[in-house]
Structure 1
Amino acid sequence: MCSTKHSSEVRIIDPCEDAAYNEWIVSSRDCTIFHSPNWAKLLSESYRYGPRYFTLYRDGEIKACLPVMEVNSLLTGRRGVSLSFSDYCQAIVAGEDEFKLLFKSVLDYGQSQRWRHAEFRGEPLLAEEVPCNEFVQHTLQLREEGLMYSKLRNSSARNIHKAIKEGVQIDIGNDLAGVLSFYRLHCLTRKRQGLPPQPRTYFMNLHKFLLAEGLGFTALAQYEGKTIAGLVCLHYGSNAIYKYGASDEKYQNLRANNLLFWEMIKKCTHDGFKSLSLGRTDLSNNGLLLFKDGWGGARDHLSYHRYDFRKKAFAAQQNQFRRYEAYLRKLPVGVLRVLGHLGYRHMG
């Protein structure tokens, strides 16, 4: 791709086929599940995206990487995303010079492949550019359980005890049955949000390539023999992330989500992870922002950037889904599942 002095070059690799990449990336303190070859495998198997990981080699060894998935859709065009369906995926680099080299390689490749745009999610080295979308993320630095509990907001602690008193119990596991039980709640929650659910095959692959490989778990809240809420937590290296959450709103008064979050925090603490991200949150979702504020983490700004190859510049973007949310809420879950099965591959 591109060479520099000191025997350096940028290569495009497929992390699923490169054992050296996995050995290198897992040793980085900044790596997340989204940098893992398992996440690349999930996306390529579920949606037929092409892994294009722009990797800097120096004297034959990997030194830096900017992960990208190439999405090729008849409906939405060809483009690169760093990284599809991730909350964030910053380049793993030693400094700005390495990032500029990798970024230029991405743009050169995208131009040659006639990409419409290249999207970068949560890249701090693009902070001076115009964002296309903005979110909030919460991150907990994990310590011993007693200290984590002391940081909880009073209302969060009360709701944990309320759920326990009401008889809510939490089952933690990584089997396929748990994933499919969560998926039922995922469909209900997406309908409530006015969004199609991810395809069932995506969650089956999530189990196959991540949870079954020891890179995550489900936590399911049980009440009187029913699964009323759940979450999916993923981890890689020393970092964990709350990736998906869902619930049956008929049981909202039991405060099962509070107990789920606390059990997730406890497990991640006991398993030795250094940090737990609570994922991205829309700036307009005040209720979820307030909920996540109650767990003692730091609230940070999270920006997405989109480089438009036609304009040769970063460009803002409007959320096209907002206009359809009210209509989608009225559709049956079965219809929404069909829309998700047909549409998610093209969203990327």
Structure 2
Amino acid sequence: MAEIPPVAVNFEECTVNAIHPVDPRTDPRWRQLAEGPAGGLFTSPPWIQAVCDSYDFTPEARISVAPDGIPVGGFAWVTVSDMRGDRISALPFCDRADPMLSAPEAWAGLADDALATGTPLTMRCFSDNPATTDPRLRAAGEAAWHGTPLECTEEELHARISSTSRRNIKMADRNNVTVVASTELDAVHAFHRLHVRLRKNKYRLLAQPVEFFERIWQQFTGADGVITLLAEVDGEVAAGAMYLVWGDTLYYKFGASLSEYLPMRPNDALYWNALKLALSRGLRSVDWGISDLDQPGLVSYKRKWASEEHRVVTLRGGPDPTPKTEVGTMLGELTRLFTEPTVPDDISTQAGALLYRHFC
């Protein structure tokens, strides 16, 4: 799909609505925005609550309120102060957290307090968000986003996905790959173990702590909004993914698989089952998240699922982030040590719980 050009906003001429500080976890006006067309998973109260509870963050947010009392804009961030220094993330540990705006002029004033601190600020949003034209912000990176619209039948969707995907789905079926969908915490734990193994053995990275996944489950399970899909071969978990529902969208948030099972195509079985699940629940789309542009294989894979593609930009405000210091070098070296093949997975898991907070 062609890129939508950003809407230019004259920030000097905009009439600023009333700006109010709010707690995005509890304020009903923030929830109203998050549940509206400009909202999304990563600006939703339960997601922000799960992140802040897991990493001991205190979120800040501003909403723009029109003269009639209707909230028309919202922007949230977290200030992080640790051994890496001070920085503002809007928001941490998410694919993107677009400012929620009912109109371009609703952006005016929302970021003033965050930018006035003089602390480096980083945010990610769609490239057509009005915030991208704010002269106080500068582009610092770009990623690809994919999402599959679902205003169709299962048969129509099956015809729309790539022929390669259709062949791989059949191959997974021939290889007796079975996909189990679960809303239980045990499935989250099974997925996390797989997640730790993948990040450690393939990427030499630590995984986010299991407590984070548990808090996500706690926040979303009451609304039947968290589903774990596990692809099994002969009773062994070969691949898995964790999905969250917010509004009318199924969000793919975490995925992992074991390399020895990849020829059996468990990931294709997972993707197809996620699409069927979303259709069965009457959802309007599946959000596959973002992919770095230096991962062409992943970008190509997501394109196969009848998806639309847009760009997500990283924006920075205030001074540049602190260059890599001895602390950053130390964190990198600790990560390397704790992901050595000889290190037991449970030790790597504990290391992730101790250190992951500092990676935002």
Report the TM-score when normalising by structure 2.
0.84
1:326: Cα distance to partner?
7.1
* Equivalent of 1:197 in 188, 200, 207: 207
Unaligned stretches of 5+ in structure 2?
1-12
* Equivalent of 1:282 in 292, 308, 330: 292
Closer/same/farther in 2, CA of residues 248 and 211 from structure 1, 3 Å limit: farther
1:341 aligns with 2:346: no
Name the SS for the 2:138 alignment partner.
Answer: coil
1:175 aligns with 2:184: yes
Letter in 1 for 2:351: L
* Equivalent of 1:77 in 77, 85, 90: 85
CA distance in 1, matches of 2:311, 2:267: 24
1:131: Cα distance to partner?
2.2
Q: Which aligned pairs between 1:241-252 and structure 2 lie closer than 5 A?
A: 241-252=251-262
* Equivalent of 1:25 in 23, 28, 34: 34
Is the Cα–Cα contact under 8 Å of residues 43 and 97 in structure 2 kept in the other structure?
A: yes
1:270 aligns with 2:280: yes
Letter in 2 for 1:66: G
Name the SS for the 1:16 alignment partner.
Answer: coil
Closer/same/farther in 2, CA of residues 130 and 247 from structure 1, 3 Å limit: same
Give the superposed CA RMSD.
Answer: 2.7
Name the SS for the 2:157 alignment partner.
Answer: helix
Name the SS for the 1:98 alignment partner.
Answer: helix
Is the Cα–Cα contact under 8 Å of residues 338 and 351 in structure 2 kept in the other structure?
A: no
1:207: Cα distance to partner?
0.9
CA distance in 1, matches of 2:308, 2:14: 40
1:317: Cα distance to partner?
8.6
Moved more, 42-51 or 7-16: 7-16
Is the Cα–Cα contact under 8 Å of residues 12 and 54 in structure 1 kept in the other structure?
A: yes
1:12 aligns with 2:21: yes
Q: Deviations over 1:210-243 (max 9, x none)?
A: 2343222111111111111110111211222211
Closer/same/farther in 2, CA of residues 20 and 93 from structure 1, 3 Å limit: closer
1:341: Cα distance to partner?
1.2
1:339: Cα distance to partner?
2.9
Moved more, 169-178 or 322-331: 322-331
2:265 aligned residue = 255
1:85: Cα distance to partner?
1.1
Name the SS for the 1:67 alignment partner.
Answer: strand
Moved more, 73-82 or 231-240: 73-82
Name the SS for the 1:345 alignment partner.
Answer: helix
2:195 aligned residue = 186
CA distance in 2, matches of 1:125, 1:194: 37
Q: Which aligned pairs between 1:214-233 and structure 2 lie closer than 5 A?
A: 214-233=224-243
Is the Cα–Cα contact under 8 Å of residues 63 and 93 in structure 1 kept in the other structure?
A: no
Moved more, 336-345 or 60-69: 60-69
CA distance in 1, matches of 2:337, 2:169: 35
Report the TM-score when normalising by structure 1.
0.87
Letter in 1 for 2:157: M
1:60: Cα distance to partner?
6.8
Q: Deviations over 1:133-190 (max 9, x none)?
A: 2211111111221121111111111111111111111111211001001001100111
* Equivalent of 1:64 in 58, 62, 72: 72
CA distance in 1, matches of 2:293, 2:29: 39
Identity within the alignment, %:
23
Aligned residues: 334
Is the Cα–Cα contact under 8 Å of residues 221 and 230 in structure 1 kept in the other structure?
A: yes
1:6: Cα distance to partner?
9.0
Q: Deviations over 1:65-121 (max 9, x none)?
A: 33323233321233322221111111111222211221224323xx1xx5x311111
1:260: Cα distance to partner?
0.4
1:292 aligned residue = 302
Closer/same/farther in 2, CA of residues 98 and 65 from structure 1, 3 Å limit: closer
Is the Cα–Cα contact under 8 Å of residues 154 and 276 in structure 2 kept in the other structure?
A: yes
CA distance in 1, matches of 2:103, 2:263: 48
Is the Cα–Cα contact under 8 Å of residues 89 and 121 in structure 2 kept in the other structure?
A: yes
1:94 aligns with 2:119: no
